Chains A and B, each alone.
Chain A
Amino acid sequence: MIDEKPVKTEFRLPPKMPELLPVKSTEKNLLDTPLISRFIRSRWFPGIFQWPTLTVFVLIMYQLVLGPASAHDNFGTALTWVLWWPLIPIIFLFLGRFWCAICPFATLSDLVQKFVGHRRAVPKFLKKYGIWIIDAMFILITWSDHVFGVVESPVGSGVLMMGLTTGVVVSGAFWERRTWCRYLCFLGGLSANYAQSGMLALRGTYDICKTCVAAACYKGTEKAPGCPLFEFPKTMTSNANCVVCGDCVKNCPNDSIRLTLRLPTQELWFVHKPRLEVAFLAVVIMGIVFVQNVTMLEIWGSMLAWLERVTGTDSYAVTFTITFLIAMLIPVSLLAGTALVGKKINGESIAKNFTRFGYAIIPLDMAAHIGHNLFHLLAEGKSILFTGVALFGREIQGISPALMGSSSIQMLQYALIVLGSLGSLFVAYKISQRSYGERALASFAPYALLILFLMVVNIVLFMLPMSMRM
């Protein structure tokens, strides 16, 4: 499929700034390995992963909507919330946004587009407010999960999936490429944040791209379509919107694309143009992790009863919304308060401080997210097997669904939080060092305190007993 639209002239190669182009010619290019190169360039990639994930998605949808009514017995619930959701942030860490390349929603969008797609340009408001829409959707979905019981009800999960599917179909039918994935998908927003902490980087080679006028990576050729997420590898400085689909590798006539491994969080050390909405999402994710943890604690019941007494209502929607708003506001106001202190030290505005250092929260977000979901994967992992064999009329009884003891899981969670906090501290330090020179340490200090505080809160939350999903 060739996109005939001309490449916009706004794509200009940035001035050579080695720190912005982490793919240096000295780094090992994974595409130099013949097996990897052949695989990514083959027509089977990424289809060999796309079709199985689409098939599993259909099975999940069938189970969620028409399978057992109780989440405890539903294979779709087990696959979605016990296996897939916990694995997702781990995939982002090791493979960047590769999941997005093989996501069934993306495949569906491509299919709809292929047969009936209008391929209109992405509306300006989506380009401008896309991440804010994603922020809002993420908050709304988390809120409705708790109020309407999406995770604990297979049909509820099915309705969520159907809603997302409908959005994908609309986007694929009317707008070009994967507009949904880039500008609307809440998971895409999350993965864009996490992919910046990820270990995989895809870039064009500076010295080759600077003389290239073909822009085949963006426009596409007869070998493959142009970048589905509207990226131009020639000027890419971030993996936030690279799904590692391999299309640019197939299209590049100069063999310029390089796929390298890097240290986790490395990209966050040198964010060229930090954006408020990305920083805001990073802080919101921390709030969402708080909510998810707090509402699964065994003391949540007594907290709820206390809230009901204080507010004088027993409406769960009201009491949860209050908790939710507080949990969202805590990290946002903590970062804003720290940005105020930062302003006094480094002289930059609160908004700039908030935006710059919001990125430093991402590694801790990721660690807390993995830590929280690790509990579900490791404490309920066997439920995938139990519900899976139930499809064939078999039943497994008297066996704990846990793959690991709760104390071992807790140790893993603490280790993850400590690692994530170290990552966040290092990112905050590098941001200070790069932005404030002599005042680097002084600027770093308040953010270090904030990160340490968030670390302690997360560890305390993981210390308390948690209830299960299934």
Chain B
Amino acid sequence: MNQIRLRGVLSLFLILTLSFAFSGEALAGPGPHGEEKEVEGFTVELAFKDEEVRSGSSGVLVRLEGPDHTPVENATVVLTADRHADEEDHAQSKSAEKDSHAEEKDSHAEPKEFTLKPGHNAGEYEGKVSFSSPGEWEVHVAFTVDGSERSASFLVDVLPGGGPWLLLGSFFGINTAVIAAAGVMRSSQNKKIKDASK
């Protein structure tokens, strides 16, 4: 009986673990939306894979079109993300506040570069960009075509991250369930031993 119960608990654990592992994929948002800019005849479109951009890592897609409106292939596309200047001033003005250190850090930290890889369609480049905090950010798209570099900047409103509460909830839920199941099984086992010894 205990063997069957143990198998049941282990199967439940397996199912919960798998559903937990794939929950992130399932919740990923569909369809990118984009904003376009013109730079020296080139059209640059910046799109995020999620409908709302939240702090943390975000999937990003850049579409490049040449002056003749044909997709630009074999370009090197590098993104950098900076806190927007107004946000920076705002952050500095709040520097006396207790929690301003993190924002100040973000505003002064050297921006990290994210190199995009060619995407599925011609002229598309995909990758990830990371925003360490919510607020208005300036994303610079630097693209090099035939040896000449051009860049376009986009303002992006980054919302607070949802927090990995689903992840934490699943983690604590599964572990609590396992511990509770073991506890129940142990107490029933102890009871049986007691009954047998009577």
Contact = CB atoms under 8 A, between A and B. Distances in A.
A163 B117 contact: no
Interface in B159-189: 161, 163-164, 167-168, 171, 174-175, 178-179, 181-183, 185-186, 189
B182 to A, nearest CB: 4
A9 B101 CA distance: 65
Interface in B53-93: 55-57
Interface band, chain B: 35 or more
Interface in A168-207: 169-170, 173-174
Most central of A73, A165, A397 by chain B CB within 10 Å: A73
Contacts of A166: 13, 17, 171, 174-175, 178
B102 interface: yes
A68 B115 CA distance: 21
A233 B10 CA distance: 33
Given A118-B182, A163-B17, A390 B167 contact: no
A395 B104 contact: yes
Chain A contact residues: over half helix, strand or loop, or mixed? helix
Contact of A72 (B6, B55, B112, B163): B112
A118 B174 contact: no
Contacts of A159: 167
Contacts of A173: 178-179, 181-182
Interface string A382-413: 00000000100111010000000000000000
B194 interface: no
Interface stretch (A42-50, A109-117, A234-242, A263-271): A109-117
B165 to A, nearest CB: 10
A117 B6 CA distance: 13
Most central of A112, A116, A316 by chain B CB within 10 Å: A116
A63 to B, nearest CB: 12
Contacts of B101: 390, 393-395
Contacts of B164: 65-66, 155, 158
Contact of B102 (A118, A158, A314, A393): A393
B183 A115 contact: yes
B48 interface: no
Nearest to A168: B175
A159 B189 CA distance: 34
B56 A155 contact: yes
A397 B56 contact: no
B153 interface: no
A70 interface: yes
B105 A162 contact: no
B132 A117 contact: no
Contacts of A77: none
Contacts of B167: 65, 155, 158-159, 162
A174 B161 CA distance: 37
Contacts of B112: 70, 72
A443 interface: no
Contacts of A397: 108
A118 B55 contact: no
A314 B117 CA distance: 8
A69 B163 contact: no
B130 A70 contact: yes
A439 interface: no
Interface in A144-161: 153, 155, 158-159
B118 interface: yes
A434 interface: no
Contacts of A73: 105, 109, 132
B42 interface: no
Nearest to B120: A314
A344 interface: no
B29 interface: no
B178 A170 contact: yes
A210 interface: no
Most central of B57, B102, B104, B183 by chain A CB within 10 Å: B57
Contact of B186 (A69, A117, A162): A117
A271 to B, nearest CB: 35
Contacts of A316: 117
A120 interface: yes
Given A169-B179, A173-B182, A69 B130 contact: yes
B56 to A, nearest CB: 4
A165 B167 CA distance: 13
B6 A174 contact: yes
A314 B118 contact: yes
Nearest to A392: B101
A153 B132 CA distance: 12
Interface string A87-102: 0000000000000000
Contacts of A72: 112
A170 B13 contact: yes
Interface string B114-133: 01011110000000001110
A165 to B, nearest CB: 7
Nearest to B119: A314
Contact of A65 (B118, B131, B168): B168
Contact of A117 (B105, B118, B119, B182): B182
26 contacts: A65-B168, A68-B132, A73-B132, A112-B179, A115-B179, A115-B183, A116-B182, A117-B182, A118-B6, A118-B182, A118-B185, A155-B56, A158-B167, A162-B167, A163-B17, A165-B171, A166-B17, A166-B171, A166-B174, A170-B13, A174-B6, A174-B9, A174-B182, A314-B118, A390-B101, A395-B104
Which 4 residue pairs spanning A and B have beta carbons closest together?
A393-B101, A173-B182, A69-B56, A116-B183
Interface of A: 65-66, 68-70, 72-73, 112, 115-118, 120, 153, 155, 158-159, 162-163, 165-166, 169-170, 173-174, 301, 308, 314, 316, 390, 393-395, 397
